[in-house]
Amino acid sequence: MRIMTTRERIRAVSVLLMLVVVASALPVCGLLRAQTLPDNATARRSVMEWHGGAVHGGADSEADWSRAEARILHAYDQNVRFHASSIENAVRRSVLRSIVSLIRHESFDPPPPDVIVISVIGKIEQFAQETRAQFSQDAVINLFEVAAAALAESVDSYSQFIPPFESALRRARQFGEAFDFGVRLARQDGELRVRHLAGAGLAARSGVLMDDILLAIGNVTLSDLDIEDAALLLDAVAGRAVSLRIRRGARVFDLPLLPEAANLPASSSRRLADVVYIRLYRFDTDAREMVEREIVFAGGINRAKSGGIVLDLRGNGGGLMQQGALIAGAFLNGGAVVSVESRDPLQSVTYSARPGDLANGLPIVLLTDEFTASAAEIVAAALQDHRRAMVVGRPTRGKGTVQTRFELGGAGAVYLTTGRFARPSGAWLQKTPVVPDLTLGDPGDGEPSISPHSCPDLPDIDDPWLNCAIAVLKAGSISSFLGTSPRRQ
């Protein structure tokens, strides 16, 4: 009897637990027919997400690409013969050919075909060698996914193939139809540590704390998984009666998760005295409208009664680029927001803000950290360049390339780097983080910088970073704040 790998167990658990949640999000489409948004004029493409990645160069002939495709398919065929029906194999070969074609025609600057061949064939043969003793129908499916993933990853580190169950889950999340456990994880000394905790999420409500080390969920050990797989499994069990094994200091214990639906909202807000505080966790399809609603929920904007806005983008890994541009534009009275350079110059575009400032000119402080990325960086860079907001916190991630999602029908989806973007100043954001106007951290982290614990404690706020943001807002400028800050580093 074949023993399932850890990754296969995660996929099996995730499929079972998320089946009902994501069923309505499954794409009903043929091979490479994308489900496009109503305002997306490119019929082949669906939702656009933003990440970072390297840009490659090179132009090769039709014959070069044909030879590369043939060599990859030959390597694949050699390892699946006798283990798959002719129909199944024909479908999977068609998907692999389609990915090769997408890389050639759609990626921003595709690598040379020979580079792709070496990478893909090496991973196919490695997987086949590791599973040859117990090759099965499951192994055939896994080999196809290995080949598809190797093709996408040959473009750059942020291009990727997504299997069907994960593809449906991502789409469901984008439209607010999937659960979110409510944590951001980081690997430290080989362990998964909670680095961000959403106050409205299941994790926080169940008792998970910042800096907890997550050891296992049910009988699945989390320390053996990469961050993406661990996050996927945690999201999949949200709302189920299971326990999470945690190490907190020297204590190890099992924490029962609340057995409730725990769809983490994309935003939250509250009024802190005369300050409107808005937390954006991600950029979904209606993020711009959410920000406007949060302002209303927090009491609205009144120049005579409001001291300003704190927009918190910590832990926000991005989402839909268009929503990032819309949110940045909402606080600007015109001007460029972000410029996108595509492979096809006719598709390169600059997004500009319409006249009208949602905040009526009130001061804004924007909080960022090293997990602020992609669409969130568009907001931070645009408001900083236009001197519309004071950015406080830590430098952002610096993810400045575009990933476009291409549907592969029932075979999943592939994300390929199809462009890069620049902030209003013209500087590219790829590998160039947004540097705060005031850095919160240790000495040497940036100038000017202070310890977040040096800011005055405010009533009902247990977040030192938020205390600093409000103090800067009240001071009116970074220089004024530093002139009154009690302990400057």
Query: Residue 487's pLDDT is what?
Result: 47
- Alpha helices (runs of H) in 107-201, residue ranges in sequence order: 113-131, 137-153, 164-174
Counting every residue written for the chain, the total comes to 489
Query: Residue 270's pLDDT is what?
Result: 85
What residues contact 38, with CB distance under 8 A and at least 6 apart?
none
Please give the single-letter amino acid code of residue 152.
A
DSSP 8-state assignment for residue 344:
S
Query: Residue 134's pLDDT is what?
Result: 61
State the number of CA atoms in the 13 A half-sphere of 22 facing the CB: 24
Domains and CATH numbers, the chain: 56-155 (1.20.5), 179-256 (2.30.42.10), 267-484 (3.90.226.10)
Q: In 10 A of CB 29, how many CB atoms? A: 14
Sequential pLDDT tens for the chain (489 residues): 444 454 454 454 444 343 333 333 333 232 222 222 223 232 223 333 333 333 344 457 899 999 999 999 999 988 876 555 677 788 889 999 999 999 999 999 899 999 999 999 999 999 888 876 565 666 677 889 999 999 999 999 899 998 876 766 666 555 544 456 777 788 878 888 888 776 656 787 788 888 899 998 888 888 777 777 787 777 777 666 788 899 998 999 999 877 654 455 677 888 887 899 999 988 888 888 888 888 877 666 666 567 899 999 998 888 888 999 999 999 999 999 999 999 888 889 999 999 989 998 999 999 999 989 999 999 999 999 999 999 999 999 999 998 998 999 888 899 999 999 999 999 999 999 999 999 998 655 556 789 988 898 888 888 999 999 999 999 999 999 988 655 444
Q: How far apart are CA 465 and CA 440, in angstroms?
A: 8
Is the separation of the CB atoms in 358 and 295 below 8 Å?
Answer: yes
Q: In 10 A of CB 41, how many CB atoms? A: 8
Query: Residue 420's pLDDT is what?
Result: 94
